[in-house]
Structure formats: structure tokens, C-alpha cells
Structure 1
Amino acid sequence: MAQQPPWQEPRPGAPSKLVLYNSLTKTKTPFRPIDPEGKKVTWYSCGPTTYDYSHLGHARNYVSNDILRRVMKDYFGFQVQYVQNVTDIDDKIILRARMQHLLSEFRSQHPQLTADVLTTTLKAFHAYAAKNLPLLAPGLKPEDFNSEYAEKYGLVLAGKSMDGNGPPGDKEAKIKMHIQVLGKAVTALLSPIEDTANFYDNADDVLMPYLDSLYGPSISSSDHGIFSALAKKYEDLFNEDMESLNVLAPDVTTRVSEYVPQIVSFTEKIVERQFAYQTDTGVYFDITAFEKVQGNHYARLEPWNKHDSSLLAEGEGALSTKSGKRSEGDFALFKSSKAGEPAWDSPWGKGRPGWHIECSVMASETLGSQIDIHSGGIDLCFPHHDNELAQSEAYWSTGNQWINYFLHMGHLSIAGSKMSKSLKNFTTIRDALGRGDWTPRSLRIIFLLGGWHDGIEITEDMKKAGASFESYLTNFFLRIKDLEIHPNTNSTGTEDAKVTAALELAKSKVHDALADSFDTPAALRAIRSLIETWNTTDKAGLSDDVSKELGVYITRLVRIFGLDGKASPDDGGIGWSGSGVDIPEEGKEWIYAASRLRDEVRQRAIAKEPLSVEAIDSLISKDKPSKQQDAAAVPWAEVLSKFQEDLLLLSQQKAQAKDYLELCDELRDTHLWSKGVYLEDRTNAPAMVRPVNAELRAEREQKEAITRQKAEAKQQREREEAEKKAKLVEQAKISPKDMFKTEEYSAWDDDGVPTKDKEGADVPKSKGKKLRKEWEKQKKLHEEHLKGIGSS
């Protein structure tokens, strides 16, 4: 019997063996590789259909796949052979390539906005509306579009479902997308015709399908270059995006266009075994024939979708037509190419591969008749992966299960909607990274926190949780790495046993979590809990070696998760990029010298110890930059020299302690901050040299905003007070005898206090008393004013 690998050996307190959530069984299943020795793992992953930019939904799938692959390889120690395909022949690619080619030709033939262009665009507008928003009036005028769609699709615009019952879904999202497309076309049609580029930018989405309906069949089936050029362009962009997200490249990449002969042979064999048949439109898999054979079951992943006509139609592709299939659920293995579609020779005439057959063939060709793991997005379960299973097992007919473990990554959604190219609600990976919305690390942390199988909706709370975890670990790494500069040489070691026990407990929890179908949220909680224990430990009783052991362990885990670029998990390093100061080695000497000098000056200033010229000179003499420096060191040596000169000047001026403290703050908050370095002052410990990161910038901006608000509030109070005083000065100038001489009254006594209102009626006694009080107050104010004039 083969010896079990080390990761499967029971350990005290943590006897867990690896189990995986398997979409085939809908349960967590013990993982047993096909390899008799239990070491090698074969893995096929569905790759991209390369017809557009990759978006964050793709990042969710491929980054999560990457995390699982890394854990299998670097944590559990499996030898993983990872194969991923590129779909470069597909209905979407054919349509997109054809439409873009025809639009490019149309634009080159019509560089000016002629009447023909406007007429064609209007027809395209009507065709798009009729197909996608059928409630709109036929022949709708562009100028009436806004009022018409607001009336016919008001419920959707109000955030409701089309029938007014229940929440909106993908159908409503598509309606909004179609309204947006038509709205841009209306802008083009009603805009000044001189702006040609802007016109086409707004009208492209209605022009492309219309031009394709007119001229698509004119594209030569043998002209594969039109289609391969588009696919190659987006494959290259996809690879760039994966590189930027730190996703490991596949061990093997397969492309459909390179496997057409094998696809033909594969299909032939299925036909020979009477699991497929030919019609005028191609070769179709016969589900009924397949299920008649004992032990064969179709739609094992999602049997409840077996008769879902919309999913079946989507699986067949947008270019499919009535096929003469024996059953609605039968699916294409090889399609007869129509005019305008690329074609290859086959026993059934000119044609091209169906969508599902490509993965069966490429996986089988590279990995064989049985494969350990097949992965992809959750939306591929049915019909794609169910069809793969059926046709592959029909081909091999060995009685063995073709795929042992199906792993499906959950959706990524924003505002409740799945991110999708078809819904045009996506953010491209390069846009998200380029704008700084995300970093490769922050995005990966979100996926780690959410788990791989569950759907993730990006919310502000989730983004905050991810940022908090990243900041927490960065600060931990900074403090561990600081031990190299400020070692704790006087440790009593009294806390070592406590922290070592916490480390062993964390290791056990992390192992159990990862063995439990890659439960990364639980693993991250265990890591955070370990750091919390370390943070709250009395560092005077903790040996540096124990702290560094924690640092090495946590570093290894985060690198296994792919959170630190290409850094090796096994080099014994500590920290990740961003957890150290980005200073040239030649400059570090002077920054740490400046930090030491500042610590000593601050301590003396806080203790009110005298800082004479002799004392400052003695401190400065410990680190004196030479006049000759490497070019890279000069800016940092200058920071130290300037600080030393300023200290000497203060000592010569016999400055106060507060002056020295202000100078120390200036070094920290201005001179070093501007160079991307921050000195974090600590109680009973030297200041820690750390990089200025987004968190520190945000803290400073918040403090500065509060300071500005306080200053503005103070200025406002001062303005109001000044206005109040000015108003009082003007009021004091009025004689009390004149203050009530207004149209509101018709009679006054000798002092000028009103006795009758404007109608001639006596002023009520209560009001008279009130007026008298005001008169007396004004009399006093006026007399003080007169005194002031006299004294001046």
C-alpha cells in the first residue's frame, strides 16, 4: 500500500484530512488523487473566451482558482499539473470580430457624416429597438425616445421587476442596458453632424449588429485571420491582467484553434458509439441514447436545469439556428458553418467546433481519460460542464467517472447584479487597478475573506474589512522587522511559552481550515487572532526569536495565498511588499541615524533636561555624514545634516524644550514625510521607521480636515462676534428719544416712549412696560456711547 503523504498524517489536536466541496456530490468529499502514490494532481480549468476585456467578475474566478491551486501546491505539497484553455473559436468571438470588422470598413468608407450614414444609423436604431425593447413604438423618432421608454419601461426604471412583482433581476438589468445603448444612439442622431468621432462612439453599439445582419454572411469562411486577430488581441490582454493580479500562469495553455483535428476525431468516435447523430446543421449529442446505457446520467451537476430552454439556447450560442435535433436538450458537438463563419474540413462538411466539445477534447488530450479536478465559474455548471461530462464519458466509455472533483467559483456581484459582459455592468480589471479602486492584494484579500464557493457582493463594509486586514498585517510585519533595528536584548522570556502556544494553536486552526475545503475565511481569522495575542503580549518578556517565528509563519501563509507578488513562501522571509521602508541601502544608515538622534533629543526635551551646545554637539558627533556620499545616499544624508544644523542653532540660542520638540515634529511630519518615510513614536521604545502608506495618508488628511474645520469654525465665530460688536456700536448711536419714532406708532411721551399705536388706540399696559424696558436699555447704551465720544 502506498505511503500517505505527510499532510494526511494525523497530528495531535489536528487530525484533519483534506476534503473538497464537490459540485458533483453537493457535499464535502475526502480528496483522493488518482495517482496511486497520492502526490500528483491533474487539474483542468476553463479559461477565457477572448472577445473583450477581462472584468472583475473574471478576476473573481481566476484569482480564486489561483488561491486554491497555490494551497494545493505550496501548503499541501501536491505536484499539480494545471491546464487551462483559451476559447478562441466561439459564437461571441465570431460575432464580435465580424461586427468590428464591418464597422471599421463602414467608418473608413464614411469618414464624414453624410445622409447615408444618418439613414443607416436610424435604421440600425429601429432594428435594435425592435429586437431588444419590443414595447417601444415601431419607427420611433429619436426625439421621442426618452418619453417613450419612460412610459413603457417605467417599472424597471423605478427599480422594480418588469411585472411589478418581486425584485429586479438580469432581465431588468438587460433592459436598462438596452435603454442606455439606444440613448447613446439618440445622442448621436441628434448631435451636430460635424463631430464624426463622437457620433460613431455613441452609435457603434446599434450600428454593429445592424451592419452584421446586412453584410455578415459576406465574410469568407476561410478567412480565419479576422477572427484569430481579435481572439489573440484579447488573449494577450487577459494574460497581462492575470500577471497584474499575480495569478500563476498555467502549466499548459490550450487553444481551440490548435485542436480542431482532435475535436473532429473525438466527435467521430462519439458518433461511432451511437451517442451522436448528424443533421443539416451539424453533429449533435444524443442525450436519450446516452442515458439508455446503464449508469449514464445527464445533467449530474444541475439536474434541475435539464429542461431550462434559456440556458440550453445560451449554451448553443447566438449563431445557432433550427437544427432538426431529436430532442431540445441535445447539444452541438460540431456545427456546420454558415456563410460568414470560419470553417474547417470534417467528415460532415465544412464546420467548426461546438462550445462544450472543446474542453472535453483539450482536457482529455493533455490529462487523459480520468482527471482529478475541473474548475470554473459557477455559471458553467449547466450546460457547459454537464455537457462536457456526458460527451467525455461517452467518448471514453470506460465506466469510470471522467472528472472526480468539480470546483466552481461563486459569482461576484455589485448592487445585487452579477457582473457580466452581456449586461455591460462590468468594471475591467485594468480600469479598477489603474484608477486605484483596488490593488492586486486588496482584491485577493476580499476573495479570501469571502471564500471560493460562495457568491461575493462587494459592499463598502467588505472593502473596509479587507483594508482592515491588510493594514493589520502590514503593521504586524513592520513591528517584527523593526526588531532587526531595535532588538529586545533584555527580554526576560516570561511570555515565550504563551506566544508559542498561541502559534501552535493557530497552526492547527489554519490547517483544519484549509483542509476543510480551503476555508480561507477561517484561516484568516486564525491568523488575525494570533497577531492579536502577540500585540497584547508584554514585549519586555518576549524573546525576539519567538516573535520572528510568528513573522516567518504568517509570511509563509500570505505568500501561499499569493498576497506578495512572486515572493517565495519558503525562503524564511518576513513581511510583504509595503511592509518595509523603500529607501536605498546607502540611505538607510542616515535615516536610522536621524531617528536615533531625534529619539535622544525628544527624551531629554520631554524630561526637561538641559540641551547645551556641548550636549547637542556630543549627540551629533555619533553620526556625522561625510562630505563624499554615493549619489543615492545624498538626499538622506542631507536630511540628517539639516536636522543636526538646526539642533546646533537651537542650542546656541538657548532654546526652550518646546522648541526642540517642534523641531523633532518638523523632521517627522515634513522632511521625512515628503520622502515617503514616517517615524512612529512609541512609549518606552525607539521610534519605528515605516513607509508612508495609504492608511497614514488618510489619517493625516483626516487630522488636517479636522484642524481646518476647527480653524474655519473659529474664524466664523470671530466674524460673527465682530459683526455683533459693529452692530452694537451702530445701535448705541441712536438716541432713546428717537428709537420708537416709526410709522408703527402715532403718539409718544416726553421720553419718546410710544403711547398710541398707528390707529390712535392706547398702547396696552403690558406692551408699554416692555417698550419702557427697551427704552431704558437703549438710554444706558447711548449714554456710554456719548461718554466714549467725550473721552476721545
Structure 2
Amino acid sequence: MATATVQPEWRAPQAPDARVRERLPRLSVYNSLTRSKTPFVPRDVEGVAVGWYACGPTVYDDAHLGHARNYVSTDIIRRILTDYFKFRVTFVMNITDVDDKIILAARQQYLLSQWLAEYTTVDQDVRDVATEAFGAYLEKNLPLLGADVKPAAYDERTNEVYGHVLQGESVDRQGPPGDREAKIKMHLKAAASAAEALRFTHIAMGEFAAKASGVLLPYIDQLEKNTITGKDHNMFTKLTKQYEQRFFDDMASLNVRYPDKLTRVTEYGPQIVDYVKQIQDNGYAYENEGSVYYDTHAWESSGGVYARLEPWNRNDKELQQDGEGSLSTKKAGFKRSGADFALWKASKEGEPSWSSPWGEGRPGWHIECSAMASDVLGKQFDIHSGGIDLAFPHHDNELAQSEAYWAKSGKESEQWVNYFLHMGHLSIQGSKMSKSLKNFTTIREALAKGDWTPRGLRIVFLLGAWRDGLEITGEVVKAGKAWEEKLDNFFVKVRDIQDRNAPHGQYLNGVTDGISQLTTGLDNNGTEAILDEALEEAETKFHAALCDSFDTPAAMRVLSDLITAYNSEKKVPNTTSLLIAQWVTDMVVMFGLDPLYKPGQTGWSGLDIPDRAKPFIRPLSELRDRIREQAKAGAIDTAALGSQLSDKDTIYASTQPYANAYAEFQRRLAGLIAQPSGATSGEWLAVCDWVRDCTLWDLGIYLEDREGLPALVRPLSWSLREERAGRERGVAAKAAAKAKAKEEAAAVEQGKMDKGKLSHLEMFRTSEYVEWDAEGFPLRDAEGKELAKSRGKKLRKDYERQRKAHEGWLAAQGA
């Protein structure tokens, strides 16, 4: 068989003239086609327009953090190209709304809902079906348990067979756990939930269905799928429309931009049929039993190449089967080559279908992207992206079939895509996050719980290279929060400078009103020149980092280093502060770190306390500043202060926590004023500390006291929370250790007391001896021999110790 063994040379696009070449940034990108960094040159004759096709989600469940890794990283690169390098990008994304997983999920959910609608209570019929479903599920997915395991014995049997897997070991105990173990845990969880439902004597139908759904879904599907009509596409798209909307809601919450063009597989049925027919007409596809397969041998014999992205995987049976889905179970003796793959699948029972020259069928997985990308972007385009798991077989198959569509032979074919960008995976405990493994945390769960913020998640992705895998660890989370807080502190500092230099003391709320408003009269001893140079150097390094295949980790270090340089200078001209802050703001906004950004704003959102808090907290802070200043000077003007406490009688209201905080502070101050002998400076300062460290802390607000300046009013920072939590953990640990030591000492004392219950007069009256004196001391051993002096001395010491212990015990008993 004539098979290409040499990877074809990548044909680098060329700018048409010197004018365009000069205007283009010196950008290189890591290209999966070359497995190296290559200069980025758009196909556009003006070097401005960029066509980009991104593989979108398969919508049958909520998006998880693994999806966030892919689509946020993609969004970052898209923003760099458009907002930083000023390319005009047409970003096309598809929605996979029909494939094996979607068909199965949609059909199973529909059929189960139909079956459940026939019952209102959990009667014996329901239990019988669920018990059969439970056994079938175990037999198929957990064969080591045995299909005859009863729900009552499930937990015990599970611990015997899979206990080590549940404890974090691999099945064979030979290495670390991976996807196989994650899948077993998924099945164990579903079976355990069903077993629990079946063990309940009385249970509501809704709860029963929720707990047993994992085993009922596949079982009812096998019984009823023959009732589904292939032309009823709505039954399948009902599910996908729901999760498509939820996907884009999640993306919006992460500040991921919407595609310029969105395509859906179900809307491209006829076009996909035409696309497959053209490949067949060109001689690179053949039909078998209503399905159409790509002919890799014919393509390679014509001078084409298959598996350009990952040629080492072309014979990987597992990956090929994953790409073929339900067809992987079909005998493949008819295939002309083991690498051949489905372009069109004959629809089976319970599957959606479209009319075609080969009969009723549906698109293969890979053909959808080729047809839709070609329809929108044409014969050739610039960028194709997706997760790294799509490189083979998905993208390799796309390349082969698309070039076979557009060309009569491999020798005549043109490069369909110039740059392939593959995003690294997000891992959890060493296993790829996956819908099919159900080992994921959804985006909305993570945000709702507060485990992540949209900004925090994006920062973590920016701190890692876009094409590298990312394992979420405590160190990774800490690094992201530290970076974010560093910028928070910098922006807060600059905004404070702006506020204090605003006309008539008015707050600017972080929005610049011209550099001319800021004073520049400081004697800065060369600070301005130093920081101007630091800013210029940062801009140069930042640009170089982004030109180096979007090296965001290096770019993030540049921003951090610039702020370090700024913080190292004690007296910084206000204009310099603003210039640096404005550039840093522009860059973080370009990275997508502030969806609420307003033009002209310095810093990102979230730096200020809530607007409804300001009418109460700012006066509170000003009042506290005056009291602290007077207390330190040792002279509180109580008469003037008393006249200012106008809100001291404010009534508490749960809807007015900030008003309540101000009122309570004033009440405590009024209490100090009312002391007959007068309060000490320490007492005044203690109240000031209390309102900062207790009341305002609980409201998420912190007053940062500064020498010679008003306290800085700001949201409570992550590091302050961590510092207090660390102290509290230390106090708790110390208290626990003290309690444990006390408990152990008490146990020792109790042991001594318990030992003292035995009278010394009785302690030796055992079978070891046959004669004792009047006080119970032994004279002869069990053989009637008189005790040796040495042994007698030892026993006497034991005797005296027990005598003292017994006397102590008697005393404790009040005897």
C-alpha cells in the first residue's frame, strides 16, 4: 500500500508586499501542524482579516471547569489578536447538537420521563423494574460485583471488591488512579444511589426517580428506544437547546466573548450530505450498509497525507473507536484500511435521521466541522482551535476529509488550515475533567460556592501557558490570588491618590478626569525617570511575551514586576502613578479581567466598597480618624464629639447593615463620653479597633490605617482573611493541644487512681504465693520456697508504692 511516511512541509503563508510585512507584528505561534513556533501571517492580502474556526461544545450537560480552561484560554488569545495586535478576527464556533452522546442522553431522558409519567407512587411494578435495571447496570458496568447482588448487600460487597478504588488506589494496585478508576467511581456512585432508593420502604416518587435514575436511564432506553421516530429532531434538540443556552450563560459569566458566527450541526444536514457526496465523487469515500467511510488509502495513494497532527496515533485503536462512537462495535472487515473513519452514519433504532443518497442517516462526528467551517470561511482559513484531545482523531480527520473535498487529488490539495491551536487540559487528581466520567465541577457550581470568581479563574489560566496541561493545586490557587491582590493593592493606592487630589475633596470613583488634576510638585529625586524607564521596559517585554506565542505567564510577570518597581519607590509623582496605572489597566482589560470596565477608568472593578455603604462607612471612617488622632494626642474633645453623634439613636434594621454599623459605633462612643471619670485613650482606641476588626470586618470592609493619612476604606482582602484564618487556626490548634494534654494528664491521674483501688493488703494474695504475713506480704512462693532477699526487696518496694496509692484512693473516696 502506498502510504506517505514523510510529514509534508508546512506551507507558510506569505504577506503579499513589503508594506503589509512591515505592518505585521513579529508574532509567532505554536502550531500543532509543525509542532513548533511559526510566524503568524494572515491569508488576508492586507494582513488584517483573520478567519478562525473553534470547535464548540457538545451540549448535553452543564459546562465544567475543564470547558472553562479551553474556552477562556481561547478567549484570551482572541482578545490578544483583536484588542492588542488589532487583527480583524472572524471567530466562528460550532455547536455539536447531534452525536452519539447527545442522542443517548436526550433519548434516555425523554423515555424515562415518559415512563415515570405512568406512575404516581413507588409501587411494586416500579420496584421490580428498578431492581432489574439495577442488576443489568451492575452486570454491564461493575461485573466484579456480580449482577445478583441485592441492594441490601450492595455497600458491603462494594467495600470488599472496590474499597481500595474508593480509597484512591488503582484497580490493580499497580500505579496511580486514572480515567479507568474515575469511571468505576462514577458507576459505583450511580449504583449506590439506586441501591439506597430500593432499600427505602417508603419513599416519594420524585426522590426515588432522582436516586435511581442512573440505572433506570439505560434500562428504560433499551426497552423503549424502538418507539422513537428518526425525523422527530425536536425530541433531541429540546435537550441541546437548553444546554446551549446554559453554556453561553456560563461563558458570559466568565467574560468570554460570543462568537461572530455560530453554527449548529442540526441546521446543516443537507449541506453535510452534499459535502460527503463531493468527497465520494472525488474518489475518497465508499459506502457500506448505508454508512459512508473516508478512504485513507485512496487519499494517500493520490499524494495526500493522513494524520498530519499526530501521525503516531494513526493506528491507536482506542482513539479510533472513541472517534467512531456507536460504529466502533460494528465489525470492520469491510474497511479498506484500519484508519478509515465514518463520514456519514446509517441511523439505527432510536436515532435522528436525514435523507441522503445512502439512505436515512446522520453526520459523522468529524464531518460537521469540515462542512460548517468550509461554508463560512471557505476553501482555506487561518486558525483552527480546540482542546488537545481533539488533535487526533477529530482534527486529523477534519484535515484529511476537507482537503479531499476541495481537491481532486492529494498532490493538488492546498493547506486547509494554516495554524492549529490546541489548548491544554485541566486535570483533577491526575484525571482529565470529563462529562462522560462525571468527575467535574460545573462552572456555575464553582462560582455559586465562591470557590472561584470569574477573574480569579482567568488569572490562573493566564499564569499558565495556554497549550500546557493545568493541575489545580493549592499552590496554583494561592499564586493566582496573590497576583490578583497585588494588582488590587496597586489600583487602590492609585485611586486613593486620585481621590485625594480631586477638586473640592470630591471622590473620582476611580475614573480619571485628566492628568492635569493631579499635583506633580513632589521632590522625587529621580523617581519619575526611574519609573518612566521601568514602564517603557515593561511595555517592551510585555509585547515580546505576547509575540512569543501568546506567552501570558511572562506577560503576567511583567505586570507584577512593574508594580514591584513602583512599590519600591517612596515618593512617586502623581502623573507617573496614573500613567503606570492606566497602562496596567489597559492590559488587564485586554486580557478580559474586567467585564464591568468603563472607558477612562483606572484599575478594574471590585476595588471599592458597595455604593449603598458609602453614605455610612465614609463618615464612620472620618469620625474614627479624628478620634484616633485625638486619642494618640491624649485629649479627646468630648463636647464637640458628643454634638456630632447625631445617629446614636438609630434603630437597628436587618436591611441596613452599614447604617447599623455606623450607629453602633456612635453608641459605643457615647458610652465612653458618659463615663463619670472619663475614658482613657486606650479605651477610645479599643473602640476604634473594634469597629475595624469586628463590625466592618463582618461586612467585608477594611479600614487600612496609615501614618499621616486618612484610613484607606477598601474591601477586605484575601491575604487579610487568610492571615486571620491562620491565627484562628493557630489559636484553635493551641487550644486543642492544651485540651488534649489536659485530657491525657487526667487520664494518667485517673489511671493512678484506678490502680489505687487495690489494697496493698490484697495485692499479693494470688496463686503465685502460698504464705503471707499479717499485712499480706508474701513469704513463700507457689512451690513453698522462702522468698530470696533480693526478690523480697523488690516486692517490698512494689508493696509500699501500692500502699501509698491505695491510701490516696481511700482519701479521694472520703474514707
With structure 1 as the length reference, what TM-score do the two structures score? 0.83
Matches within 5 A, 1:638-653: none
1:75 to partner: Cα distance: 1.4
The one-character-per-residue Cα deviations of 1:667-686 (angstroms, maximum 9, x if unpaired) are 42345445543211123443
**Equivalent residue letter for 1:681:** D
1:332 is matched with: 342
Q: Deviations over 1:25-81 (max 9, x none)?
A: 111111111112211111111111111111111111111111111111111111111
Alignment-derived partner of residue 461 in structure 2: 447
Given that 2:645 and 2:666 are in contact with CA atoms closer than 8 Å, whether structure 1 keeps it comes out as no
Q: Secondary structure at the match of 2:52?
A: strand
Residue of structure 2 aligned with 1:563, choices 574, 593, 597? 593
Shift of 1:578: 1.9
State how far apart, in whole Å, the 2-side matches of 1:230 and 1:655 are.
Answer: 69
Alignment coverage as a number of residue pairs: 742
In structure 1, C-alpha distance between the alignment counterparts of 2:228 and 2:148, rounded to whole Å: 30
Q: Give the corresponding residue for 1:507.
A: 539
Match of 1:545?
575
Alignment of 1:656-675 (within 5 A): 656-673=680-697, 675=699
1:492 aligns with 2:523: yes
Query: 1:382 maps to what in 2?
Result: 392
How do residues 290-305 of structure 1 correspond to structure 2 at under 5 angstroms? 290-294=299-303, 296-305=304-313
Q: Describe the SS at the equivalent of 2:383.
A: strand
- Structure 1 window deviating more from structure 2 (177-186 vs 458-467): it is 177-186
Task: Determine the structure 2 residue equivalent to 1:522.
Answer: 554
Alignment of 1:457 onto 2:487? no
User: Which residues in structure 2 correspond to 1:135-154 (within 5 Å)?
Assistant: 135-137=144-146, 139-143=148-152, 145-146=154-155
CA distance 1:5–1:589, change in 2 (3 Å): farther
Q: 1:603 aligns with which of 626, 629, 645?
A: 629
Report the Cα distance in structure 2 between the residues aligned to 1:626 and 1:365, rounded to whole angstroms: 71
The one-letter amino acid of 1:266's match is Y
Answer yes or no: is the 8 Å Cα contact 2:229–2:350 preserved in 1. yes
2:648–2:670 contact (8 Å) kept in structure 1: no
* Superposition map of 1:354-753 within 5 A: 354-397=364-407, 399-487=413-501, 491-494=522-525, 495-537=527-569, 539=570, 541-567=571-597, 571-584=599-612, 588=614, 591-606=617-632, 609-611=633-635, 615=637, 654-673=678-697, 675-703=699-727
| 1:442-497 Cα shifts (integer Å, max 9, x gaps) | 21122112221011111112112112222222122211211123458762122222
Q: d(CA) in 2 for partners of 1:152 and 1:772?
A: 57
- Find the residue that maps to 1:483 and give its secondary structure: helix
2:707 is aligned with what amino acid? T
Taking the aligned partners of 1:160 and 1:665, their CA distance within structure 2 comes to 51
Which residue type is aligned with residue 669 of structure 1?
Answer: D
Corresponding position of 1:782: none
Equivalent in 180, 199, 204 of residue 171 of structure 1: 180
Q: 1:768 to 1:227 in 2, by over 3 A?
A: closer
2-side partners of 1:566 and 1:264: how far apart? Answer: 44
Query: 1:139 and 1:663, CA in 2 relative to 1: closer, same or farther beyond 3 A?
Result: closer
Structure 2 vs 1, CA of residues 703 and 401 (structure 1 numbering), >3 Å: closer, same or farther?
same
Letter in 1 for 2:702: Y
Deviations 1:539-559, CA, capped at 9 Å, x for gaps = 2x2111111222112222222
In 1, Cα distance between equivalents of 2:296 and 2:125: 50
What amino acid does structure 1 have at the position aligned with 2:305? H
Check the 8 A contact 1:182/1:206 in 2, yes or no: yes
- Residue 561 of structure 1 and its aligned partner are, at CA, apart by 1.6
CA distance in 1 between counterparts of 2:646 and 2:194 reads: 70
What is the rounded CA distance, in whole Å, between the counterparts of 2:721 and 2:372 in structure 1? 50
Range 493-502 or range 186-195, more displaced: 186-195
- Structure 1 Cα separation of the partners of residues 589 and 793 of structure 2: 88
What code does the residue aligned with 2:262 have?
A: T
Give the superposition deviation at 1:660.
Answer: 2.4
What are the within-5 Å matches in structure 2 for residues 734-773 of structure 1? Answer: 758-759=777-778
Structure 1 contact 594–643 (Cα < 8 Å) conserved: no
User: C-alpha separation between the residues in 2 aligned to 1:460 and 1:220?
Assistant: 50
For the 8 Å contact 2:704–2:711, the answer to whether it is kept is yes
Distance 1:147 1:636 in 2: 55
Cα gap change, 1:659 to 1:179, in 2 (>3 Å): closer
Q: Distance in 1 between matches of 2:211 and 2:260?
A: 42
Aligned to 1:28: 37
What's the offset of the Cα at 1:268?
1.6
Instruction: Work out the CA distance in 2 between the residues paired with 1:681 and 1:166.
Output: 54
Distance 1:653-1:551 versus aligned 2 partners, 3 A rule:
farther
Q: Within 5 A, what are the aligned runs for 1:161-240?
A: 161-192=170-201, 194-240=203-249
List gaps (5 residues or longer) in structure 2.
1-16, 502-518, 749-758, 766-772, 780-786, 805-815
What TM-score do you get using the length of structure 2 for normalisation? 0.81
Distance 1:483 1:5 in 2: 43
Specify the SS of the correspondent of 1:484. Answer: helix
Cα offsets for 1:73-125 (capped at 9, x unmatched): 11111111111111111111111111111111221223333333333233323
| Distance of 1:593 and 1:151 partners within structure 2 | 66
Residue range with higher mean Cα deviation, 682-691 or 73-82: 682-691
Q: Distance in 2 between matches of 1:279 and 1:718?
A: 80
CA 1:186–1:671: 2 relative to 1, 3 Å: closer
Tell me, yes or no, if the aligned pair for 1:677 and 1:691 is still in contact at 8 Å. yes
1:762-782 deviations in whole A, cap 9, x for unaligned? 999999999999999xxxxxx
Could you say which residue in structure 1 is the equivalent of 2:5? Answer: none
Q: 1:293, 1:318 → 2: CA distance?
A: 30
Mapped to 2, the partners of 1:574 and 1:654 lie a distance apart of 46
Q: Which moved more, 1:98-107 or 1:653-662?
A: 653-662
SS state at 2:498 partner = coil
2-side partners of 1:233 and 1:438: how far apart? Answer: 24
Matched to 2:536, the amino acid is E
Deviations for 1:676-714, whole angstroms, at most 9, x for unmatched residues? 432111234432111234544444444456567778999
The code of the aligned residue for 1:364 comes to: S
Amino-acid identity (%) = 48
Match of 1:118 among 106, 112, 127: 127
| Closer, same or farther: CA 665–334 of 1 in aligned 2, 3 Å | same
1:42 is aligned to 51
State which of 56, 65, 68 in structure 2 corresponds to 1:56. Answer: 65
Contact 1:67 1:562 in 2 (8 A): yes
Aligned-residue CA RMSD (Å):
4.1
Q: Which residue of 2 aligns with 1:100?
A: 109
Distance 1:425-1:106 versus aligned 2 partners, 3 A rule: same
How far, CA to CA, are the matches of 1:401 and 1:362 in structure 2? 17
* CA–CA separation in structure 2 for the residues paired with 1:179 and 1:208: 15
Confirm or deny: 8 A CA contact 1:246 1:566 kept in the other structure: no
Residue equivalent to 2:513: none
Contact 1:590 1:640 in 2 (8 A): no
Relative to 1, partners in 2 of residues 1:80 and 1:769: Cα closer, same or farther, differing over 3 Å?
A: closer
Shift of 1:618: 6.3
In structure 1, C-alpha distance between the alignment counterparts of 2:269 and 2:491, rounded to whole Å? 51
Deviation at 1:243, TM superposition (A): 1.3
Counterpart amino acid of residue 216 in structure 2: L
Matched, 1:3 2:27: no
Alpha carbons 2:130, 2:215 under 8 Å: kept? yes
Residue 366 of structure 2 aligns to a residue whose secondary structure is helix
